[in-house]
Amino acid sequence: MIVIDTTQRTTPDTRLLDALSSESSSTRLQAALAAGTHPDARFVDALMARCAVEPDFFVRDMLTWALTRLPAENTMPALLTELGSDVPQARSQALHTLSKIGDVTAWPAITRSLLHDADDEVARSAWRAAVVLVPDGERKRLAVDLAAQFGRGDRKVRLSLSRALVALGDEIEPALRTGLASADPEVRAHARATERLLRDPDADFDPAVDEAKRVVALGPERAGGA
């Protein structure tokens, strides 16, 4: 058990800092848990730095939790700065943490560049953060930005994009129509699968994609009568 020493108020506990960079993932997990259990603004920089390089998903999730336990005024400046990092994981984790904090003042930082980031994990995190932080007046514009990426990536990426769009509700209808009219069959199929999820959020994604591809291949009239 890692116990944070709160008696020294000038510098963070060096034992916790050492534990955050341990070769053992269980030790790093315990350190992140300790940092969140005893929130201390002096750990912000260390937690942020670890987020950028941590290879273990569960440790990254605990690091995010530890950051959310701190006052937003301590974490937000560092998170917003991290969005401009050259390290994709740093950008992705900062976006993920912002989505968990839910502070809508971060919305202007969710730029079009992040929404269209070349790194799929960064883009997926940006989509999730965007639908949490977007103000009502920006929802249609966000829907257009997201729908412009129909057909992007593998199944995981496409499912993330569809879920983000569905979270925006009926605001996505115009953007869906644009996707459904695309000359690209992959774009049309992805748009149609998203439309099905919008109508039935509990539907499975893969059958929706398969049916959408069938409709695109045969045409809606032939597919309906087959």
The 10s digit of each residue's pLDDT in 123-171 is: 999 999 999 999 999 999 999 999 999 999 999 999 999 999 999 999 9
Quick check: is 45 in a domain? Answer: yes
- Within this chain, do residues 87 and 139 fall inside the same structural domain, yes or no? no
Residues 82 and 158 in one domain: no
97 and 167 both lie in a single domain: no
Please determine, for residue 14, whether its predicted confidence score (pLDDT) is greater than 90. no
Residue 159 in tokens = 């499912």
Write the DSSP symbol of residue 170.
G
Q: Tokens 């893969």 identify what position?
A: 206
CA angle at 182 for the pair 180 and 186, rounded to the nearest 5°: 85
**Domain annotation covers residue 33:** yes
Residues 88, 170, single domain; the answer is no
- Residues 140, 83: Cα–Cα separation, whole Å: 23
Over the stretch 36-93, which tens digit does the pLDDT of each residue have? 999 999 999 999 999 999 999 999 999 999 999 999 999 999 999 999 999 999 999 9
Check whether 10 has a pLDDT greater than 50: no
Q: For residues 145 and 115, is the Cβ–Cβ distance under 8 A?
A: yes
Distance CA 61, CA 220 (A): 43
Which structural domain range is residue 159 located in? Answer: 135-216
Residues 1 and 95 in one domain: yes
Task: Indicate if 96 and 141 belong to the same structural domain.
Answer: no
Q: Going by C-beta distance under 8 Å and a sequence separation of 6 or more, which residues neighbour residue 48?
A: 67, 78, 79, 82, 90, 94
Asked if pLDDT for residue 1 goes beyond 90, the answer is: no
Element (H, E) at 8: none
Residues 6+ apart with CB under 8 A from 200: none
Closest-CA residue to 44 (of 9, 71, 21): 71
Question: Domain count of the chain?
Answer: 2
- 4 and 92: one domain? yes
Same domain membership, residue 57 and residue 150: no
Compute the distance between CA of residue 39 and CA of residue 68 in angstroms, rounded to an integer: 9
Please enumerate in sequence order all residues whose Cβ is within 8 A of that of 197, keeping only pairs 6 or more positions apart, or say none.
162, 163, 166, 203, 205, 208
**Residue 141 placed within a domain:** yes
Residue 186 within a domain: yes
Entry field: residues in the chain: 226
